[in-house]
A = this chain, B = another copy of it.
Amino acid sequence: MPDSATMDPATRRPYDLAAVLDVAVQEFNTRGYDGTSMGDLANALGLSKSSIYHHVPSKEALLGLAVDRALLTLFDVLDEPAAVQGPARARLEHVLRRSVEVLDQELPFVTLLLRVRGNTQTERHALERRREFDRQVTDLVREAMADGDLRDDLDPALVTRLLFGTVNSLVEWYRPEEGSARTVADALVAMTLGGLDTT
């Protein structure tokens, strides 16, 4: 079965914004946002360059839509019941495991988010939202230390950066498969929290 990029534009289902975005995000992740031209996108879509502008006003708007989706999904995790009630140690593990799941389910969008550099206003906003996520997790780590559940001889901000450094590094190699998110989350939690737990 031929894909959208090679099918006759007259017979295949026309693109909508979501489909254009999916292809664009994939290209951005392959070649980098700055390394991907509108011509590259047009090739990948099997469209002319100008047709892309029917769906989106600019290249940067594509980036904005993608990172907003990733940020929305990640911040939703922090509002889940298991992330706001119970001992901090358990809430931290929940946030870690759910972050791996989000990464599994929204891999291209999260990947793009984590590679943003700050060249445009869109990118700088994304970086600020990531810092806010980080602050909220740091509070969780600090609380778990105060509870005596995590060793408290390490700086909570440092521990948070190491923890989510490990999680975020998954985008460099992880590819979703049946059950693989669970395997990775188990190993990640065992390795990291296993070294931090006091019990």
Contact = CB atoms under 8 A, between A and B. Distances in A.
Interface in A131-147: none
Interface stretch (A52-60, A65-73, A78-86, A155-163): A155-163
| Copies of the polypeptide in the assembly | 2
Interface in A76-124: 115, 117-119
A133 to B, nearest CB: 13
Nearest to A163: B191
Contact of A162 (B161, B188, B193): B188
Contact of A34 (B32, B154, B183, B188): B32
A184 interface: yes
Nearest to A169: B165
Nearest to A180: B158
Q: Which of A154, A169, A173 has the most CB of B within 10 A?
A: A169
Nearest to A194: B195
Q: Which of A34, A119, A166 has the most CB of B within 10 A?
A: A166
Contacts of A187: 154-155, 158-159, 162
Nearest to A197: B195
A26 interface: no
Nearest to A31: B119
Contact of A190 (B31, B154, B166, B190): B154
A191 B153 CA distance: 11
Contacts of A30: 117-118
A33 B32 CA distance: 10
Contacts of A118: 30
A23 interface: no
Contact of A119 (B35, B170, B188, B193): B35
19 contacts: A30-B117, A30-B118, A32-B33, A115-B115, A158-B183, A161-B169, A162-B166, A162-B169, A162-B191, A165-B172, A166-B166, A166-B169, A190-B195, A190-B196, A191-B195, A191-B196, A194-B195, A194-B196, A195-B195
